Amino acid sequence: MAYTVPKLKDHSAKALDKASDNLLAALEKESKAVKNEEEWKIFRDRWMARKNGVLTQINDLWLKAAPVEAKPVFGQKVNWLKKHVEGMVEVTNKRLLFAQLPAKHVKSKKKIKVETIDLDAFARDLKHGLIASQSLDITLPGIRRPLGSEHPVIKTIHEIVSVFRNLGYSVQEGPVIETDYYNFEALNFPPNHPARDTQDTLFIACQESKPQRERLLLRTHTSPVQIRTMENMKPPVRIVIPGKVHRNDPPDASHSPMFHQVEGLAVDTNITFCDLKGTLDHAMKALFGSSVKTSFRPSFFPFTEPSAEMMVSCFICGGSGKRGAEPCRPCKQTGWIEILGCGMVDPNVYGFVDYDPKKVSGFAFGMGADRIAILKYGVDDIQLFFNGDVRFLEQFG
């Protein structure tokens, strides 16, 4: 006779345990009676169907009908029974599948032992010999789990940061979405500076009603972190700032609307341009080898004065401008590669962070990590770094 869920007149724990034992006994009996897939489907639906399955009935007749003070105990018991029913249905299905395997794949004719089970019942049955699976061929290659590695740009950033950390610099980071104030105004960019133009800067939409200094944009450099750090830290300051930046550049072999920068800032008493040159010369030798030479030429940046562009002797052709009989493309046959911009911090910048330019001085520098990665790994298209082609990226693993 098929099992039917009784209504409980007594809602004590003892009565609930007795009713649960009867349910489990009926579950085991019906499971053993299942002989084929069609009967298993009937068995599954009878116990687990949403509308009138046994699990639904015990939820309605036992849990919902229980008094408020007994509901916690009944809830735990019903959840426990639900797990056992689901496990028994799964084991019954596996028993039918194993019975269909060829005899050579079965260790013995031992029947599946179906008892009052927990969620590990099926794993125990596999372990104790229900199935031997196919014989193991130890000459076959194993299943290798592929391991990832650092992206070449991230790897380059870490190498650059490591050089400056060894010099005593700390690492600072800041938001990618910045205000006009931190990205431009506090860095001595006047309102009519070309970098504020939408042709270069990506502004967040619907900002027209805000004052200009509060308008949001995607930062065009990591320099805003310099301002944020100086606002919260008194000299001496020595920081290096890696991060992602955005500019409205059409993508091509040497440009991307998203790229990476590593900037640095040092502010203290009596810092001179000689300190800047010595620091960067040491850093370039640590990155590209002790044989590289550095050269500086005048330039202009709104937040530094004086400003300079730094070049290193080509570490690919050794500064000769040729690679064998062929011209050296990275240095354009000049023997020098422009690597970064730098300069002494403009005194006007100190006014935004409450530093006294008569007492302190400092220098700043910034380089494109993607450009250095291109040079270091001999890549001819920056887009390859961002296309997500594993065939390309796995070369750097």
pLDDT in tens, 24-37: 888 888 888 888 88
Better-scored residue on pLDDT, 103 or 317:
317
pLDDT digit string, tens, across residues 203-241: 999 888 998 889 999 999 999 999 999 999 999 999 999
Q: Which CATH class is domain 152-396?
A: alpha beta
For the segment 377-397, the average pLDDT, to the nearest whole number, is 85
56, 46 in Cβ contact below 8 A?
Answer: no
Phi and psi, residue 395, nearest 5° = -65, -25
Q: Which of 4-8, 229-233, 358-362 has the lowest mean pLDDT?
A: 4-8
pLDDT > 50? residue 126: no
Please, which pLDDT band fits residue 118 given cuts at 50, 70 and 90? very low
Residue 346 has pLDDT above 90, yes or no: yes
Length of the chain, please? Answer: 397
Average pLDDT over residues 176-188: 93
**Residue 129 · residue 110 · CB < 8 Å:** yes
Question: What are the residue boundaries of the structural domains of the chain, listed by start?
Answer: 13-127, 152-396
Measured CA to CA, the distance from residue 379 to residue 371 in angstroms comes to 10
Q: CA nearest 217: which of 188, 250, 183?
A: 183
Cα 174 to Cα 94: distance, rounded to the nearest angstrom: 55
Calculate mean pLDDT across residues 94-119.
Answer: 53
What pLDDT, on the 0 to 100 scale, is given for residue 375?
Answer: 86
Residue 377 CA to residue 65 CA, distance in Å, equals: 71
Over the stretch 131-162, which tens digit does the pLDDT of each residue have?
Answer: 444 456 667 777 777 777 889 999 999 999 99
More confident residue, 307 or 71: 307
Do 380 and 253 form a contact (C-beta atoms < 8 A)?
Answer: yes
Place of tokens 């007492």: 359
Q: What does the mean pLDDT of the chain come to?
A: 85
